[in-house]
Amino acid sequence: MAPLPTWPPAMTEAQKADLAQQAATYALANGFTLLPVPAKGERVPAIPTQVITAPLSLLPTPFPRPAYVQAKSIQRVYNALYARVTLDWEFLDKIMMHVAPVDDFQAELWNRWKAIREEITVTQPVHLGIFRSDYLLHAHGNATGQKAVIKQVEFNTIAASFGALSQKASEMHRYLSEQSGYYNVHPQLRNANAFVDNHSLEDIAAGLAEGHQAYGSREAAVLFVVQEGERNVFDQRALEYRLLKNHDVRSVRLTFAEIAQRGQLDDDKVFWLDSPLGKEPLEVAVVYYRAAYTPADYTTSAEWDTRVLLERSQAIKCPSMALQLAGAKKVQQVLAEPGVLEDMLLGSSRPDVGFGVGSGSLTERDCAALRETWTGLWPLDSSEEGKKAYQLAREYPERFVLKPQREGGGNNIYRDNIPPYLAKLDEEDKAQPGEAPRREAYILMELIEPPQGVHNFLVRGGEGTPRLADVVSELGVYGVSLFGGKAVPVNKEAGTLLRTKGRESDEGGVAIGISSIDSPLLI
C-alpha cells in the first residue's frame, strides 16, 4: 500500500481564495448545504429563507486506493453479519440482559421490543437496513509517509446520514478539478481516475425504493421520522426528491409528535397518516428513521409509545427495533470475541437471511476479512477479560477510548479522561450497592492512530475563509440490506462518505462544524 503524500501541495493565497469562491457557489447552487444555526433563543424556522454551505474541504484528501477498495469490498459481508444478528433473538437477548441493567435507553428499547414479541406475532418480518461502516486509517509507525491500514470505528444501523451530501462533495471536487485543474499544483489533482465515482445518494434512495417495492402498495409512501429543528434537512430532502424522480415513490417527513397526532393503525395493522390539508389518508410502506437513535428523541413515554405503534404496523422499518439493537457497541465487542463472528456467519444453527456474498455462500475468508479491520475490543464487566480491560484502562489510558451504547457522536471518553471517569463511576456504585457496576454500560476500544503529516484546507459551514488544519479522515461505507420474511433479499454496497476533521478533535460532528464533508483522492 503506497504511503500518503505530504498534503496539501503549495498554493498561493489567490489560488485558495478562488477555490473557496468556486466551492461555495457550487455548494449553494447544488444543495451541498445546511440550515444556519438559529440565533440564541430562536428555533430553526419552519419555512427556511437562508442556507449555508455544509462544512467542506477545498481539496479532496489523499486516501490509499487499496484501503478504499478493501472497505467497499467487505460491506456486503458486514450487511450479512448484521442481518443475521438481527434475526438471532437469543443472541441479542443474551447481550441485552447484561446491558439493560446499566443503560436505561437500551433497556427501554429492548423491553419494548420484547413486549411486542410476546404480545403478538411479528406483523412485519421484513427488515430494511441502511448501514454505514466507519473506518480510520491506522498507521504503522509515526513518520510522515508511513503505510496505513483501515480499522473499523463502528457499524451504524440507524440514521446513517450524509449519503446525499457525500455524493455532492465528490461531485464538487471533480468539478473543481475539471474547471480549474487545481492550478497544476499536484498531478493527482488532474488525474480523473483519482477521484471517486460516488453514487451514495442514488444508491440509498434505491434502497428505500426496494423496501417500498417489498411492501407491495404502489400508492403507499415512505415516512421519514425526523428530529424537530433538523438543520441537516437538505441531506434528507435530496433522498426524498430522488425517490420521487427515479422511483415514483412519495415521501412525508414528520416528528414523533406529529406522527402521534396524525397516525393510526387499522385492524389489519396498516399504518395510515391523516392529512391536515384535506387529502386522502396516506398509507405508510416504509418507516425511515433519521431520528430515534438518542435518548434526547424520547423526552416522554409518548415518543416510546409512538415508536411501538410504528413497530407493530405492517410498514417495513428502517431499522426495526431489533436491527437498532444489533448496532449497539456491546454487540460489536461480543462479535470480536474468539469464534463468535465465525459462528454467526457460518454456523448452521444461525438464522438464514437469504443471501451470501457474490455468487456463493459466506466463507472463512469472509470472516478473516472482517477481523482484519478490527482493533482491540474488551468488555468492562466482571469477567476475567473485563477485569483485565479495567486495569489496562486505568494504567495505560493513552491507548484507549471508552465507548457507551450510543449513536450520534459526543459520547466517548478518551485517553487521560478515562481513569477519573472510571473512578467517578466507581464512587456512584458505592452509593448504590448491589446494582450492576456502571462501567458495564461501556466497552473499551483500542485507539486507532491515523497517519501523520496530512493537512487540508477546511471551510466551516457559513464561513468563506479556509483554514489549514492537520487532519484525520474517517471513511464510511454505506450498505443496503433487505431481509426476513418472504421478501426477495437485497445485499448491496451503496457508496461512501469521507469526513475530515482537525486532529485536535476526538469527536467528529459535521453539523456543529468539527468535521468537513470531504472526498477521497485515491493514491
Give 207's DSSP letter.
H
Q: Which residues pair with 128 in a beta bridge?
A: 482
207 is in an annotated binding site: no
For residue 30, the one-letter residue type is N
C-alpha cell at 420: 477519573
What does the alpha-carbon distance between residue 336 and residue 14 come to, in Å, rounded to a whole number? 50
Of 197, 191, 164, give the one whose Cα is nearest residue 178.
191
C-alpha cell at 198: 460516488
108 is in an annotated binding site: no
Question: Has 449 been annotated as catalytic?
Answer: no
What does the alpha-carbon distance between residue 470 and residue 500 come to, in Å, rounded to a whole number? 10
Q: Catalytic one among 161, 313, 491, 516?
A: 161
What is the DSSP code string of 361-429?
---HHHHHHHHTT---EEE-SSSHHHHHHHHHHHH-GGGEEEEES--SSS--EEGGGHHHHHHHHHHHH
Q: Catalytic one among 16, 72, 84, 132?
A: 132
269 is in an annotated binding site: no
Q: Catalytic one among 76, 84, 403, 439?
A: 403
Q: Which residues pair with 371 in a beta bridge?
A: none
474 is in an annotated binding site: yes
159 is in an annotated binding site: yes
C-alpha cell at 331: 454487540
Rounded alpha-carbon distances, angstroms, from residue 133 to 72, 115, 255, 369, 496: 10, 30, 26, 14, 9
Question: Has 258 been annotated as catalytic?
Answer: no
For residue 208, the one-letter residue type is L
C-alpha cell at 50: 437562508
445 is in an annotated binding site: yes
Q: Catalytic one among 311, 407, 449, 493?
A: 407
232 is in an annotated binding site: yes
Q: Catalytic one among 31, 145, 408, 509?
A: 408
510 is in an annotated binding site: yes
For residue 280, the one-letter residue type is E
408 is in an annotated binding site: yes
Q: Catalytic one among 76, 329, 330, 460?
A: 329
Q: Catalytic one among 151, 491, 499, 515?
A: 499
Q: Catalytic one among 79, 133, 156, 519?
A: 156
Question: Has 403 been annotated as catalytic?
Answer: yes
328 is in an annotated binding site: no
- Contact of 48 with 232, CB cutoff 8 Å: no
The number of beta carbons lying within 10 Å of the beta carbon of residue 230 is 20
- Contact of 138 with 272, CB cutoff 8 Å: no
154 is in an annotated binding site: yes
DSSP helix/strand/coil, 260: helix
- Contact of 34 with 511, CB cutoff 8 Å: yes
Question: Has 283 been annotated as catalytic?
Answer: no
Question: Has 329 been annotated as catalytic?
Answer: yes
Counting every residue written for the chain, the total comes to 523
Q: Catalytic one among 31, 73, 114, 154?
A: 154
Residue with grid cell 440550515, as numbered in its chain? 35
Question: Has 424 been annotated as catalytic?
Answer: no
C-alpha cell at 310: 410504528
Question: Has 430 been annotated as catalytic?
Answer: no
329 is in an annotated binding site: yes
Active site residues: 132, 154, 156, 161, 329, 403, 407-408, 499
**Residues annotated within a binding site for Mg(2+):** 154, 156, 407
**Residues annotated within a binding site:** 132, 154, 156, 158-161, 230-232, 236, 290-293, 329, 403-412, 414, 445-448, 474, 499, 501, 507, 510-511
**Residues annotated within a binding site for ATP:** 154, 329, 403-412, 414, 445-448, 474, 501, 507
